[in-house]
Amino acid sequence: QVQLVESGGGVVQPGRSLRLSCAASGFTFSSSGVHWVRQAPGKGLEWVAVISYDGSDKYYADSVKGRFTISRDTSKNTLYLQMNSLRAEDTAVYYCAKSGGNYALFYYGMDVWGQGTTVTVS
């Protein structure tokens, strides 16, 4: 069963840090680009970051650039999002999602999503 499971969310004070994890199973993680997407309460989806299948390429939304770092550990089939200097506007449900095609980043869409983990900055 293809699955992504996020963890690490919680309540954190402004200016502090938090690291989210996303455990992958049921597919070849080492061949997949993976994204973080967030959704503030009652709001729409906002793309956060993406990392290539081998970790060599990383791209970020302007709203998090310089504060968030995306990384992956292929040996653990796990994706991470290190979030520093957190702000109230970072409060959201954070989803990880895999790119639909092998080795793809931005095409084929995001075909598998986790259930999300909630981050509250307050």
- Total residues at interface with another protein (CB under 8 A): 24
> How far apart are CB 71 and another protein at their closest, in Å?
18
Q: According to CB under 8 A, which one of 30, 77, 91, 113 is a site residue for another protein?
A: 113
For residue 100 the two structure tokens come to 């639909």
What are phi and psi for residue 60, nearest 5 degrees?
-135, 150
Per CB under 8 A, which of residues 79..108 are in contact with another protein?
Answer: 95, 97, 100, 106-108
Pairing between β-strand 10-12 and β-strand 117-121 as defined by DSSP bridges: parallel
> CA 121, CA 17: separation in Å to the nearest integer?
10
By CB under 8 A, is residue 27 in contact with another protein? no
